[in-house]
Structure 1
Amino acid sequence: MKTEYCGILILLIALVAGVAADESVPALPHEFWGTVTIDGSPAPAGTEITAMIGGTGCGSITTTKSGTYGSSSRYDGNRLLVLANEDQAGATIAFLVDGKEAGQTATFTPNGTTRLDLSVGSAVTPTPTPTSSNGGGGSGGGGSPSPSITSAAPTTYTGQASLATSKSGEVQVSTTVRTTDGSGSVTIAAGTTARDRNGKPLGEVSVTTLDSPALPPVPAGNTLGLALTCGPDGATFDPPITLIFTLTEDEWSRIADTSVLHVVWYNPSTGSWEEVAATVDPATRTVTARVSHFSTYALAWPSVLKEVTVSAGQEVATIAPPPAETQQPTSEAIPWPFIGAGCLVLLLAVAGAYAWKKRG
């Protein structure tokens, strides 16, 4: 009886081992997100995107917004999850957009996250296979590859924008954010390391104008013009990013000497404004500075003093004194004692002459 039980147990173990040997170990998914276009136009919401490895579907997603699929933030929408086995790591992934093959491919990297802009139709331009960030520790001495970086012209937004960054904080797509009135902008180039005040990858950027009443005290001898609040406060950039102030023709004409325009930022730890090196371009009426962190920035120039400042110890006059020849003498300038003495001598002389005449 015991022999029969042992035989059955051995048979079951063999069956389980055989099944396990036939199945590959599933790997962590590779996540994708980015833009999607059809014939050069943003793909409409409801477009289906399917990932294929070796002709087999391994993940799909239906877009919910025009022109994009997934999101740079894992908390702001689903991403396209490519599911495969560990032995398929390094395999080429093809993508179908509503059944049409896109001009872009990728390499399957377990636990990777990649921005990949997809396009189908006549406007398709095939792009090199991007590398991907790998959330796992990896093996060997090569380290984890970085996500693909798009070095094309910056994508421009108004007010605020999401920033595509890798897990190390490296910006993947050049991004420009402008104020609503166009008076200021920041441009963060692809490849820049962008982190928030806590050292985490920066996920969002905002630029707004700041009204004069909300500004800290103005530096002595300066006039502050345009002021911007760049956020989030405390974000850092390596290398520095580009900050641009743009003036209208009317604003430019009001400044007596535009060559003295400069940029200052408010340092809350010292309660003072500090100057930043800047370049003035009269042709475009812009002032450009390179900044390594976010704060409050302002365009400044020396105040034009209309007052007439006289020597120390005297008051400051707002109106120049009239010419000397038109000045009227004050009461203190008339020699009244001498006039009184003269009148007295004259009176005595008259009295003496009268007395002399009367005696004769």
Structure 2
Amino acid sequence: MTNTTKVSIVLILSLALVAGVMAAEEVPQMPDEYKGKVTIDGKLAPAGTTITALIDGEVRGTLTVDKEGTFGGNKNIDQNLAVTGYADDKGKTVSFTVNGKPAGHATTFRPGEVHAIALTAKGDESSPGGPSSPGGRGGGRSAAETLAPDLRAGAVTVNTTLTVTADDRTACLTVLEGTRVSSDTPDPLDAITITPLTAGDLPEIPADATFTFAGLAVECGPEGTAFDPPASLTFTVPAETWADLDPDRLVVKWYDPAAGRWVDLETTVDPETMTITAEVSHFSTFALFTEAPTAGNADLPGARVTDQTGKDASGGEGTDWTIPVIGIVLVLVVAAGAGLYLKKKKE
């Protein structure tokens, strides 16, 4: 076989491999479908409104509203907003616009599923991402979602799934359809907000705490709002930050101002999408933390941490060397005595 033939075969195999990889990435997935409500400046969007879905800034689906304020549905005749994608799009952010304006909502591409969402947009040239948070900490804006304008110190059951996304896209709050939402304040519960916080905005973390701030925090409001069943708060960690974190030690905590301490929440970590989700039953300040490893080498396989009594500091029994040492000494004494006896007998 000539060198030319060898090179040609290698080139063909290389091109086939590249084509295979490209083909795997470019395999079309089942659409990710959306239905729900859409408002512009707080009012039901009129028929003819255009909703667009994008991934990486590329248009992946469009739909024209044919019924005021709603799109899609459960009937076969209802047209959902279908978002197309490929294998490598799984887990990527899907953003939306309404008549070309940012809709203040984002989710992740999950092919083959149908989701209920609520889209809100501005009808003017206001800055995107939701209204400014008056006096909000962290210097950022908070996203807002109409909830129950007539709710005052009572409760209401939401009739559609609501998702509110923070302005920096690092956190979102999801309230499922059928959730009982209550308020203990006399103010109308006309919106729920989620405002990003910085480390300097957080309540004090004790100097002797066994956890450290992992860089993401939000304040959800209005204060006094509660959910039954709990709402879901999801943090999305940037890829460059994820590389420095240990997924097994991540936990979301809420700050209890009455007790002056941080309290753990049931936390679910998804390394594939770099998201951390916690169930929240009421609004507060929430933050992502990394739990410190066990003191010493207790976290290493087979290692023990013992105190000065020889007992395992974690509650188990440490190794007691007293008996083995005495035994060794006795053997040496007996051996020495036997040696002297044999020496005298020979003499």
TM-score scaled by length of structure 2: 0.45
TM-score scaled by length of structure 1: 0.44
Q: In terms of Rg, which structure is larger?
A: 1
